[in-house]
Structure 1
């Protein structure tokens, strides 16, 4: 479980990085808002006073003070512009509800994605949860546009919002110089030939580096890429009802000698999915891995396919196979040849004219079923740091996350830790998982089985 690193990038750069622009455009086809859940002990402070404190802190936070503004005629990438706090950004749901009702409300929020042209975030507060894990609690759910932050930056944003540490004064707005839309479009059009030339030169370098990566793979210097997996009953469009579930555990319950939390959960997933899918021949999970930050980019991550080895009957051996495959994927991702190939590709994409990049996203057909998949489910695993966050005097109890579903995947998993607790968040759709409670029970049993096998 990688820790959410302190991030000193300046995400307030005026022009969206192409990676963030793609996330913005793609969200219209595949909803991708992040939902970061934080459960706090019931405190004594007035909720309205806490809301005022959160608004004040948000005004000092670069990520939450920005919105997206489109550029006329699509001749340049969208821009980050200043956005003051809106009075409707924080919603307080004051009715006393059960934990199950709270989870249902969060799942219903998936249908109401933020409009980053207005605000990149929304905060849902549930101050009266009667039976949350650990007892009566207050739950805060930060909803954040993926264009504004990846998982690492989102975790740091939540830490700044719910923390008590001092934040720097709000910086002066970083705005474009006053210029007419016509003049802006003319400047972008004039730069088009240069951008196209730089894109072509970058493409030559990218092809050269891709060939070097291929030769390194053929020679055995670098592990091969993962192979695609056949479709399963999970790999369908989420056309039914979406549900979320959580399994809250002590971190110590997901650790054994030589086994990381991520490997432990992947092994348990292999057992649960094997039972749920009636003994499939081959399975893999797409595991999200952080990558080196690119200047001004808010999204710096990639997905790697990790085998789950359901055909291996011995859980201890299966866990070692999963760990070895995950390690190989990371070795490949971190190898200098892979880094050079990514850097060259990033350079190409940085010089693709905005209208071409947006046109490329527009060609994506979310209804087209792929012949195979990199992974049959997703696992996003992030440590969100120390348990030193508070709300109204109540300490944070646990945190959870729910990776978005996609047109070819109706079951995802988030593994999020804070302090001494780890929560496995489950997002599912009835198109693939008709009974989310049954799947939750299967995964709980699988976690127990892996714990026993690795003890």
Structure 2
């Protein structure tokens, strides 16, 4: 009997957390792979030797040596299982490219999403970029399934892959097989009544915690949720050509006037979007906020709407309003009442039978046009730490990221820092932004304008 309980705990610890399973299932409807760009000084090391070293390091990084195994009959959640790196997990694009050609190649790779049942990652190496910001460079782009990692975890993975520090090889785990035997399926079916009962009990608790959160909001103890926003020309399906652009800046240029980097860039985006749209429409950004890690979950984040206050003409005052709204959203997300409601909801989801959860995701219609949105663009801001990474004999110069587009959003922004540089990454589609170079120039000018106003 004790041995059966131990095996049960082992199996539970290797199944996908419901949040990760949703990311896995939803990827078939909305491509969501992450693309983490790292630009390195051009070094003298042989690229093939570097590829061998990267394969060796990847084998010591737990997330990169797993893949997803579907469970039989949908009675259990998919599981993580051990997987050696595929022989073609690293692509070396040896042809010399210009920086615009490199960005075009990265945008084109968005169409080739990884299949996490085979591998959760792919690495693109561009060793001969002749005119990257700062000069000739080696560019590495780590592509990761969102089911395998959120932005924070993805940055840690890249730090291990491109770092020079030793990585201790953790022991391989014994994972459940890809195809589960009938006895396993029968046990899962027998457990369904208990799971449903636990889901109902958890639902009662979740409803109580939701009412407590509502009462806390009504009393003023916790900020209210952000209002929804009307659709704009930005909020359309990306049916045309997707492009990426980057604006690389010294960190000191976007961390001035007492603002954070995130608030500074949000203010600049508000100026750029107001001019791009040509009116004073009420705008908001959907900002990604990290949350406390949940056991076994690789995705621990949420998106909140932050007002851009385009009706405020004074840039300094607008920045203060944006900062206050972002702080209010963080306060609400991190408040004990919100955490209790989220915890009870997570508990409910953990007991939802897998086939019901997958069926729920299947009902999502990516072609349906929402009546309102949380934000008119996405802004994801992540610090990727010290500039102590190296590849090909060169030190890291800057890093960038490109949040995925969605059926109701054809323009997103990533704000990523490493060492003393910050890069604003822009992902756009011609359905909204027919001239990506023009929008990049508009945002550059807005960043300069905000810098002058805040100083």
TM-score in terms of structure 1 length: 0.97
Aligned to 1:5: none
Judging changes above 3 Å, is the alpha-carbon distance between structure 1 residues 317 and 128 closer, same or farther for their aligned structure 2 residues?
A: same
Which consecutive unaligned segments of at least 5 residues does structure 1 have? 1-9
What displacement does 1:177 show? 7.3
Distance 1:178 1:255 in 2: 49
The question of 1:397 aligning with 2:381 is answered no
User: 1: distance between equivalents of 2:238 and 2:142?
Assistant: 23
Note if 1:380 corresponds to 2:367. no
1:66 maps to 2:66: yes
Identify the residue that residue 183 of structure 1 maps to in structure 2.
183
- For the residues of structure 2 that align with 1:72 and 1:126, how far apart are their CA atoms? 40
User: Which aligned pairs between 1:78-97 and structure 2 lie closer than 5 A?
Assistant: 78-97=78-97
1:195-216, CA deviations, whole angstroms, 9 ceiling, x for partnerless residues? Answer: 1001000000000000000000
Give the equivalent residue in structure 1 for 2:125: 125
Where do 4+ consecutive residues of structure 1 move more than 4 Å?
A: 177-180
Distance in structure 1 (CA, Å) of the matches to 2:174 and 2:285:
41
Cα displacement string for residues 244-267 of structure 1 (whole angstroms, at most 9, x for unaligned residues): 000000000001132000000000
**2:93 aligned with 1:54:** no
1:178: Cα distance to partner? 10
**1:347 is matched with which residue?**
347
- Give unmatched runs, 5+ long, in structure 2: 1-9
Q: Is the 8 A contact 2:70 2:179 kept in 1?
A: no
8 A Cα contact 2:70 2:178, kept in partner: no
3-state secondary structure, aligned to 1:395: strand
Could you tell me which residue of structure 2 aligns to residue 447 of structure 1?
Answer: 447
Secondary structure of the 1:168 match is coil
Moved more, 171-180 or 431-440: 171-180
What secondary structure is seen at the aligned counterpart in 2 of 1:292? coil
In the TM superposition, 1:247-326 aligns within 5 A as 247-326=247-326
Identify the residue that residue 146 of structure 2 maps to in structure 1.
146
Aligned 8 A contact 1:247 1:423 in 2: yes
What CA distance in whole angstroms lies between the structure 2 residues aligned with 1:391 and 1:206? Answer: 48
Paired residues of 1:237 and 1:408 also in contact (CA < 8 A): yes
Structure 1 equivalent of residue 220 of structure 2: 220
Query: Where do residues 193-232 of structure 1 align in structure 2 (5 Å cutoff)?
Result: 193-232=193-232
Q: Distance in 2 between matches of 1:387 and 1:326?
A: 28
1:180 is displaced (CA, Å) by: 4.8
Shift of 1:171: 1.5
Q: Secondary structure at the match of 1:209?
A: helix
- 1:337 corresponds in structure 2 to 337
SS of the residue 1:398 aligns to = strand
Please give the root-mean-square deviation of Cα atoms over the aligned residues, in Å: 1.4
Residue 142 (structure 1) shift = 0.1
Residue in structure 2 matched with residue 433 of structure 1 by the alignment: 433
Question: Whole-Å Cα distance in 2 between the matches of residues 197 and 51 of structure 1?
Answer: 51
* Aligned-residue offset at 1:173: 3.1
Distance change in 2, residues 1:180/1:407 (3 Å): closer
Q: CA deviation at 1:392?
A: 1.7
Aligned to 1:45: 45
State the Cα deviation string for residues 206-253 of structure 1 (Å, max 9, x = none): 000000000000010000000000000000000000000000000000
- Equivalent-residue separation in structure 2 for 1:179 and 1:105 (angstroms): 37
Asked if the contact 1:71/1:79 (under 8 Å) is kept, the reply is yes
Distance 1:265 1:178 in 2: 45
- Count residues with an aligned counterpart: 446
Contact 1:279 1:310 in 2 (8 A): no
What is the alpha-carbon distance in structure 2 between the residues aligned to residue 173 and residue 195 of structure 1?
26
Residue-by-residue CA offset, 1:406-429 (whole Å, 9 max, x unaligned): 000000000000000000000000
Q: In the alignment, does 2:40 pair up with 1:36?
A: no
Q: Which residue of 1 aligns with 2:171?
A: 171
Pairwise CA distance, 1:163: 0.3
Q: Which moved more, 1:274-283 or 1:165-174?
A: 165-174
Q: CA deviation at 1:32?
A: 0.1
